[in-house]
Chain A
Amino acid sequence: MEINTTVKIGKLILKNPVMPASGTFGYGLEYKNFFNLSELGAIVTKGLSIIPVKGNKPQRLIETSSGILNSIGLQNIGVENFINEKLPELKKYKIPIIVNIYGKTIDEYIRVAERLSEVNIDAIEINISCPNVKKGGIQFASDKKAIKKLLYNIKKIYTRTIIVKLSPNINPVEDIAILCEEYGADSVSLINTLQGLAIDIIKRRPVLSNIYGGLSGPAIKPIALAMVHKVYKKVKIPVIGIGGIMTYKDAIEFLIAGATAIQIGSANFRDPLTCIKVIDGIKNFMKLNKIDDINLLIGTLNY
């Protein structure tokens, strides 16, 4: 049986709906010894800023029940180093490259987007929601005027696909999604990590040096699914579902809830082959259930 797994996100055409989540896949090349990166629907890089960022003081990560809590602090090599050192090799895989970007100010976001436009990056995913840095982050995610200004300015200099990554820490998330659609985002991806805390009971101190961290992994999947479904009902632009996907079954739940594509995050740390296994699993599921087009699954929740 011929099956179609192609989905569209803005101007992007993905041969399958599976991509890694930013921050769990480095700059992509770290995984090239595990599998052929060309198999992915797209690559999503670690969040890039205009200048390199050192990140937070350790301890930066701790395992929690069915998940992990992290406060890496957006450590990255900066957009110029990415363009010079990583991009040439990454382009050889001939799959869409989505670069996650963030800044401390609107101007910083714009400068990163401008550089990425110059080197023909297929899509940017704008992180307005990382809870692990003191500036930017949450303030941005809840500031409707700032989001409006950000999108308005980025769209002037970046004409390819723009995805906005949404925070689950701002309620209701669908309000921000509607806003992003209104100001020209091509897609929204959700959810970013949920703010959490882990405590060392002997020292009575937070385990993470940044005090709070972002929770991810299977522990957050039901929350993510609910948010994806709520957003799907409110916007026309495609939704990218993220949150605790470990298997093809999880991915299909997200598609049914309304996601056009999905991202795999924490699972990559546990099993670097997760993305590939999920792609194969989705294809097998479609064949077994005689679904010849993946788009026939999207947003089909019966209730």
Chain B
Amino acid sequence: MIFDSKIIYNKKISENFYHLKLKIKKNLVPLPGQFVNILIDDSCDIFLRRPFSIFNYENEKLEIVYKVIGKATKILSSKKKGETINFLGFLGNSYLDFISNNDNTSNDIILLGGGTGIASLNFLCQWLKNKKYKFTLLYGAKTKKEIFFLKNFKKFNTIFTTDDGSYGNKGFITHYLEKIVNNNSLIFACGPEPMLLTIKNLELKNKIYASFESYMGCGFGVCLSCVIKVKTDNNGFEYKRVCKEGPVFDLNSVILEKD
């Protein structure tokens, strides 16, 4: 589905991070883990759309949190209240595809968000909270400056870590995962590939689902750019589309670059 949505606000929240809020008029509701593919520029200078995970959705308002890292995100950050953003949505599968109804009787859902990966997990946290699931969030960032919406995340049962110890615990969230995990824990992760690899290498017996990033051409399954290797039964692999079969995959089924 193609959306043309008005910007409610697009504001800087910390050094390179922005918070974009859009008014959604269509009768469609996104699920945690899904993403949108935004048309950045009317000229062909930025030819492809750019995918962003959904930070939150409430009362027909869609929120995205993004980091300015290049030309496209710089242009996005210059857009003002009242301007219209064209995007494709709501794309991909959802974390919810892997949560069953009886999971809310246990208190063993663990979420790991590294860096900007926290954005898509926030939406999942909101959902879990609304449905009265119990969960623990592990939120890791490089420094205190890169932790955004601190107050928001303090509302949840959150363990913070920073690489330099400038806020919360010093070190990586994967270290804390080992401390709190038990046999029944259901784990969701979103973050850079080295983080996912570290989680994988812990060789936990738990079900672990991770949201992946990949270079996308279209975002709706036709260009076959964003594929990742997923194991098949016969010890082989097949390429699956992050935009279509994903972005959330069973972590242990994915063959990572440095595996």
Contact = CB atoms under 8 A, between A and B. Distances in A.
Interface of A: 24-26, 30-31, 33-34, 54-55, 58-68, 70, 72, 75, 217-218, 246, 266, 268-273
A86 to B, nearest CB: 13
A270 B39 contact: yes
A61 B217 contact: yes
A22 to B, nearest CB: 11
A25 B222 CA distance: 6
A270 B47 contact: yes
B239 A54 contact: yes
A58 B218 contact: no
B47 A72 contact: no
Interface stretch (B108-116, B143-151, B224-232): B224-232
A115 to B, nearest CB: 22
B193 interface: no
A8 to B, nearest CB: 28
Contact of B224 (A68, A72, A246, A272): A72
B225 A61 contact: yes
9 contacts: A66-B47, A72-B225, A218-B47, A266-B47, A268-B218, A269-B48, A270-B39, A272-B88, A272-B218
B2 interface: yes
Nearest to A65: B45
Closest 3 CB pairs of A and B: A61-B225, A26-B222, A269-B218
Interface residues of B, number: 25
A62 B223 CA distance: 12
Interface of B: 1-2, 39, 44-49, 88, 214-215, 217-218, 220-228, 238-239
A272 B2 contact: yes
Contacts of B220: 30, 272
B47 A75 contact: no
Contacts of A72: 223-225
A75 B239 CA distance: 9
B44 A55 contact: no
Given A24-B223, A55-B227, A269 B44 contact: no
A112 B136 CA distance: 54
A58 B215 contact: yes
